[in-house]
Amino acid sequence: MSAAVKWTIAALLIAAASAASAAAPIYDSVRLNIGLNCRWERKCIAAQTAAMHRALAYVRTRRPQHARIHQCNRNATRGRGRTDWIGFDNCIRNHSMARAHHAR
C-alpha cells in the first residue's frame, strides 16, 4: 500500500470518528434521554423535543402546582432517568386531572 493511500485512509477514519462523536450527545443529557427513548428515530426525536419545549413553556407561564408537576413526572417516567415528554405535556395540560386533584 502506498503512503498516499495510507494517509487517505487515516484521514477518512479521523473524519468519521469526529463526525460520530459530534453526532453522539454524550454531554447533553436531555438529547441522550430523548434519543434513547426514541431509539434514535428522527421523527420521534422531533416530536419529543417539540413536546418538551411546549411543556416547559406551559409550566413557565402557567405555573401549575408542584403536586401536579410531580404527578405528571411520575406518569411520564419510562425507567430510571427517562421521561416521555409527550406524555408529560399531555398530562400537565390535562385540565380534568387538575379538577379531580382539587376535588379531593
pTM for the model: 0.66
Per-residue model confidence (pLDDT) at position 89:
94
Q: What average pLDDT is seen over the chain? A: 80
Confidence label for 21 from pLDDT (cuts 50, 70 and 90)? very low
pLDDT at residue 32 above 70? yes
What is the C-alpha separation between 58 and 17, in angstroms, rounded?
Answer: 39
**64: its cell numbers:** 401549575
Query: pLDDT tens-digit profile of 46-85?
Result: 999 999 999 999 999 999 999 999 999 888 887 776 789 9
| Amino acid letter, 67 | A
